[in-house]
Amino acid sequence: MMKLMEDEVFRAFSTYAAVVVVKMMLMSPMTAFFRFTRGAFANEEDVARKSPEERKKLLRTDPDVERVRRCHLNDLENIVPFVVLGLLYSLSGPELSSALLHFRLFVGSRIFHTLSYVGSLPQPCRALGFMVGLLTNVSMAYRLLSSVMVL
Amino acid sequence: MMKLMEDEVFRAFSTYAAVVVVKMMLMSPMTAFFRFTRGAFANEEDVARKSPEERKKLLRTDPDVERVRRCHLNDLENIVPFVVLGLLYSLSGPELSSALLHFRLFVGSRIFHTLSYVGSLPQPCRALGFMVGLLTNVSMAYRLLSSVMVL
Amino acid sequence: MMKLMEDEVFRAFSTYAAVVVVKMMLMSPMTAFFRFTRGAFANEEDVARKSPEERKKLLRTDPDVERVRRCHLNDLENIVPFVVLGLLYSLSGPELSSALLHFRLFVGSRIFHTLSYVGSLPQPCRALGFMVGLLTNVSMAYRLLSSVMVL
C-alpha cells in the first residue's frame, strides 16, 4: 500500500468518498428500474422489439423517472465538489476528528437528500439535506484555502 | 500537512481547483434564486403550501432557470476534466510557471463563460470561454500522457 | 516528477483516466457538430444573426442532439465514479495486472458504450457497455473498502 494510505485522515476520506460515490452509482439502476416499471424510455433501440403502436406509447417521459434523474444530477453537482475538496482538504493536514465530522455530515446529508427526493418527502427535508451538504463543502474549501492558498 | 502539499505546483493546483469548484457550487443557489423569482419549480413538494390553482402555474419550466441549469451542466462537463487532468498533470512534474499558466487560463475562462452564459452576452463570448477551457484541458492531457503513459 | 508517479499502478491509472476523460470531453464538440448540422440550438444568442423567422425554427430540440447529450451525461455519471474509485484503488496497493484489467475493461466498455449510443446500435449493446463499466467500478470499490475502510 502507498504512503498516502497510511494516513488516518486519508483512509477516512477514501472510505466516505467510496461510500457516497457507490450511492450515486446506484441511481443508474434505480432509473432503469423506474423506466421499466413505468414504461418510459428515451431511445428507439430500447423498445425495438415492441409493436409500432406500443413503441410510441413507451417513448415518453414519466414524472417518477424524471424525479430520479433530477436526484442523480443533483448528486453529481454536489458529490463532485465533495470529492475534489475532500481530497485536497485531507492532504492539507486537518485533525482526524474534524475531518471525520465533515465526511460524516456530508455523506449522511446526501443519503437523507436521496431519501427525501425519491420518497417525495415534504419540504424542507430535501432542502435541508442539500444545505448541510453544501455548507460542509464550503467549510472544507475555506479550511483548505486558508492553509494552502497559492494564487 | 502532507508531503504532497509542500510542492508548489500541487498547492497552486489545490487553490485553483478549490476556487473553480466553489464557483461551480454557486450555480445551485443561483438556480434556486431564479426558481423563486421566476416562480418555476420542478417538484410537487416544493409548492405544497400553495392553492391547487397556483400549484399548476408554478410547476413549469422557465427560460432563465433552464439557462442557469445548462450553464451548471456545462461547468460539470468541463470542470470535472480539469480537476482530473490538472491533478495528474500536477503530479507529473511540470514547471511552476507553465502549470500556473494552465490553471489561470482555465479558471479565468470558466468565470468568463459563466458571465457570458448567465448574462446572455452576444456570441462568440460564450464559445470563446468554452474553447479556451477545453484547449487548456487538452494541453494538460497531452503533457501528462507524453510524460507518464503506460498502456 | 513526484514520487507517486514512480509507481507503475499509479502511472497506469493516470494514463487510462486521461484517455477516458479526453473521450468524454470530445462529446462537447460532437454536440456542437450535431447542433449545427441539424440546426437545433438552445440559446437566443446562438442564432442572433439569423432573421426572426429562422430563429424560431432553429431554437428547438433535435433527437440526434438529445441522443449525444444523454450519452455525455451518462459518461459523467460513470466516469466520475471511475476516476474517484480508480484513484483511491490505485493508492491501496493492488497488483499491477489486476489494476490494468480493471482500467482496460472500464475504458474499453465506455468507448463501446459511446459507439453503441451515438450509432444507435441495437440493444443489448449499450446496456452491455454500461454494465461492464458499472461492475468494474463496483469491483474497485469493493477492493478499496476491504483494504482501507475507516468509518
pLDDT digits (tens, 9 = 90+) for A33-77: 999 999 999 998 989 888 888 888 899 999 999 999 999 999 999
At B40 the three-state DSSP class reads coil
Predicted local confidence at residue B121, as pLDDT: 92
All residues of chain B having their beta carbon less than 8 Å from the beta carbon of residue A122 are 45, 48
Q: Average model confidence (pLDDT) for chain A?
A: 94
Partners of residue B121 in chain C, C-beta under 8 Å: 45
Across the interface, whether the CB atoms of A81 and B25 are under 8 A apart is answered yes
Give CA–CA dist A66/C145, Å, rounded.
32
B73 contacts in A (CB within 8 Å)?
73
Helix, strand or coil, per DSSP, at residue A95: coil
CATH 3.30.565.10 is the classification of domain C2-31+61-148: no
**Mind telling me how many Å the CA of A18 is from chain C's nearest CA?**
6
Q: What is the pLDDT of residue C1?
A: 66
Half-sphere exposure of residue C142: CA atoms within 13 angstroms, side-chain side:
7
Q: Is C138 exposed, middle or buried (0-12, 13-18, 19+ CB in 10 A)?
A: middle
Q: Looking at residue C139, what is its pLDDT?
A: 97
Q: What percent of chain B has pLDDT over 90?
A: 81
Nearest to C79 by CA among A106, B77, B92: B77
Most confident of A119-123, B15-19, B49-53: B15-19
Instruction: For residue range A115-133, list pLDDT tens digits in order.
Output: 999 999 998 999 999 999 9
User: Is residue B2 predicted with pLDDT exceeding 80?
Assistant: no
The pLDDT-based confidence of B3 (bands split at 50, 70, 90) is confident
Are C81 and A44 a contacting pair at CB < 8 A? no
> A147: which 3 cell numbers?
492553509
What distance in Å separates residue A21's CA from the closest CA in chain C? 6
Alpha helices in chain B (DSSP H): 8-25, 27-38, 52-58, 63-91, 96-118, 125-148
Identify the band that residue C13 occupies on the pLDDT scale cut at 50, 70 and 90: very high
Whether residue B150 and residue C46 make contact (CB cut-off 8 A), yes or no, is no
Cell of B83: 480537476
The average confidence (pLDDT) of chain C is: 94
Residue B103 grid coordinates: 490553471
| Option in A25, A48, A79 nearest C122 (CB) | A48
Chain C nearest C-alpha distance from A44 (Å): 8
User: Searching chain A, which residue's CA lies closest to the CA of residue C89?
Assistant: A14
Closest CA to A19 of B86, B87, B104, C142: C142
Q: Over range B36-64, report the average pLDDT.
A: 90
Contact B14 A134 (CB under 8 A): no
Pairwise CA distance, residues A29 & B90, whole Å: 35
Q: Tell me if A77 and B80 make a contact (CB, 8 A cut-off).
A: no
- Is residue B50 within a helix (H) or strand (E), and if so which, with residue range? none
pLDDT at A2 (0 to 100) = 78
pLDDT in tens, B56-96: 889 999 999 999 999 999 999 999 999 999 999 999 999 99
pLDDT at B1: 66
Confidence of residue B54 (pLDDT cuts 50, 70, 90): confident
Angstroms from B18 CA to nearest CA on chain C: 16
Contact B11 A151 (CB under 8 A): no
Band the pLDDT of B6: cuts 50, 70, 90: confident
Select the residue of B11, B15, B44 nearest A120 (Cβ to Cβ).
Answer: B44
For residues C101-118, give the mean pLDDT. 97
Name the residue among C4, C123, C138 with its Cβ closest to that of A46: C123
Query: Can you tell me the mean pLDDT for B107-132?
Result: 95
pLDDT reading at B50 higher than 90? no
| Exposed / middle / buried, residue B51 (Cβ in 10 Å: 0-12, 13-18, 19+) | exposed
Q: How far is B124 from chain A (nearest CA, A)?
A: 27
List of chains touching B (3+ CB pairs within 8 A): A, C
Q: Collect all residues from B whose CB is shorter than 8 A from any CB in C.
A: 3-4, 7, 10, 67, 70, 73, 76-78, 80-81, 84-85, 88, 91-93, 120-123, 126, 130, 134, 137-138, 141, 144-145, 147-151
Count contacts between B and C (CB, < 8 Å): 90
Q: Is B120 strand, coil or helix?
A: coil
Interatomic CA distance for residues B137 and C113, integer angstroms: 23
Chain A residues inside the 8 Å CB shell of C145: 15, 18-19
A neighbours by CB contacts (3+ pairs under 8 Å): B, C
Q: Are A92 and A79 in contact (CB under 8 A)?
A: no
**For residue A1, pLDDT beyond 70:** no
Q: What is the mean pLDDT of chain B?
A: 94
C144 close to C92: Cβ distance less than 8 angstroms? yes
Residue spans of the domains in chain C: they are 2-31+61-148
Residues C60-72: what's their mean pLDDT?
Answer: 94
The pTM of the full predicted model, rounded to 2 decimals, is: 0.94
pLDDT of residue C151: 74
Chain B residues whose beta carbon lies within 8 Å of the beta carbon of residue C21: 80-81, 84-85, 141
Q: Indicate the pLDDT class of residue C90, thresholds 50, 70 and 90.
A: very high
CA distance readout (Å), A94 to A102, A122, B53, C112, C128: 11, 36, 52, 42, 42
Interface test with A, best of C71, C91, C130, C145 (most A CBs within 10 A): C91
Q: Does residue C28 have a pLDDT over 70?
A: yes
